[in-house]
Amino acid sequence: MRVSLKVKLQKPEGRARVLVRVLVSALPLLLCLLALGGHESSAQKKGKGGAPASSKTATKSAARSINVKTQPGASVWLDEVRRGAADASGQLQLSNVSAGRHTLRVRAKGFQERTLAVLPAQRGTLEVRLVPTNDEAELLFQQAEESREKAGGASQSVELYRRALALRSRFPAARVGLARALLATEDHDGALDEIAAARRLRPSYPEASAVEGRILKSLGDPDAALDSYRRAIREGRGFQPEAHTGMGLVFEEQGQHAEAVEAFRKAISQLSDTEPVLYELLGRNYERLENWKEAARAYEKYLQLAPEGSHASAIRSIIEQLQRQAAEQEQTSPDE
Q: Is the pLDDT of residue 282 over 50?
A: yes
**Residue % of the chain over a pLDDT of 70:** 80
Q: Is the pLDDT of residue 246 over 80?
A: yes
Integer Cα distance of 244 and 278 in angstroms = 11
Mean pLDDT of 19-26: 47
pLDDT-derived band at 27, boundaries 50, 70, 90: low
pLDDT-derived band at 89, boundaries 50, 70, 90: very high
Mean pLDDT of 294-315: 90
Q: Is 300 exposed, middle or buried (0-12, 13-18, 19+ CB in 10 A)?
A: middle
Q: Is the pLDDT of residue 49 over 90?
A: no
Residues 170-213 have pLDDT tens digits of: 999 999 999 999 999 999 999 999 999 999 999 999 999 999 99
Residues 265-276 have pLDDT tens digits of: 999 988 877 788
Cβ-based neighbour number of residue 250 at 10 Å: 21
**What pLDDT is stored for residue 61 in this prediction?**
46
**What pLDDT is stored for residue 78 in this prediction?**
87
Integer Cα distance of 40 and 196 in angstroms = 17
Q: Is the pLDDT of residue 215 over 50?
A: yes
Residues 125-179 have pLDDT tens digits of: 999 999 999 999 999 999 999 999 888 889 999 999 999 999 999 999 999 999 9
Q: What is the pTM of this model?
A: 0.77
Q: Is the pLDDT of residue 24 over 80?
A: no
Chain-centre distance for alpha carbon 302: 15
Integer Cα distance of 239 and 207 in angstroms = 11
**What pLDDT is stored for residue 250 in this prediction?**
98
**What pLDDT is stored for residue 69 in this prediction?**
96
Hey, which residues does 115 pair with through a beta bridge? 105
**What pLDDT is stored for residue 56 in this prediction?**
43
Q: Is the pLDDT of residue 8 over 60?
A: no
* CA neighbours closer than 13 Å in the CB half-sphere of residue 54: 0
| H helix or E strand, kind and range, residue 38 | none
Closest CA to 180 of 168, 195, 166: 195
**What pLDDT is stored for residue 7 in this prediction?**
31
Integer Cα distance of 219 and 228 in angstroms = 13
Tell me if residue 104 falls in helix, strand or coil: strand
Going across the sheet that includes 64-69, the strands are 91-97, 64-69, 124-127
Mean pLDDT of 96-102: 82
Mean pLDDT of 292-321: 91
Least confident range from 59-73, 268-282, 304-318: namely 59-73
- Rounded mean pLDDT of the chain? 83
Integer Cα distance of 198 and 194 in angstroms = 6
**What pLDDT is stored for residue 132 in this prediction?**
95
